[in-house]
Amino acid sequence: MAYKITDKCVQCGACKEVCPVEAISEGADQYEIDPDKCIDCGACAGECAVEAIEPA
């Protein structure tokens, strides 16, 4: 199960920096996770200060 970034995202980029498979990219309004690349490690969710990342 991949993770997803909700509209709570403040575009700080912390999640992108810790993703080991580079599945996170900057979208128009918030960062986005590519579900095909996501390995469900949860590193991004652990790093998110505003709790904007949750299991999909």
Residue by residue, DSSP assigns 2-54 as -EEE-TT-----HHHHH-TT--EEE-SSSEEE-TTT-----HHHHH-TT--EE
The whole-number pLDDT of residue 32 equals: 97
Q: Does the pTM exceed 0.85?
A: yes
Reading the block at residue 27, the tokens are 């979208």
What's the structural domain count of the chain?
A: 1
Question: The CATH number of the domain where 7 resides is what?
Answer: 3.30.70.20
Cross-strand pairs, 31: 26
Parent domain of 22: 3-55
CA pair distance 1, 38, nearest whole angstrom: 8
- pLDDT tens per residue across span 6-45: 999 999 999 999 999 999 999 999 999 999 999 999 999 9
Residue 1 has pLDDT above 80, yes or no: no
Tokens 């990219």, located at residue: 25
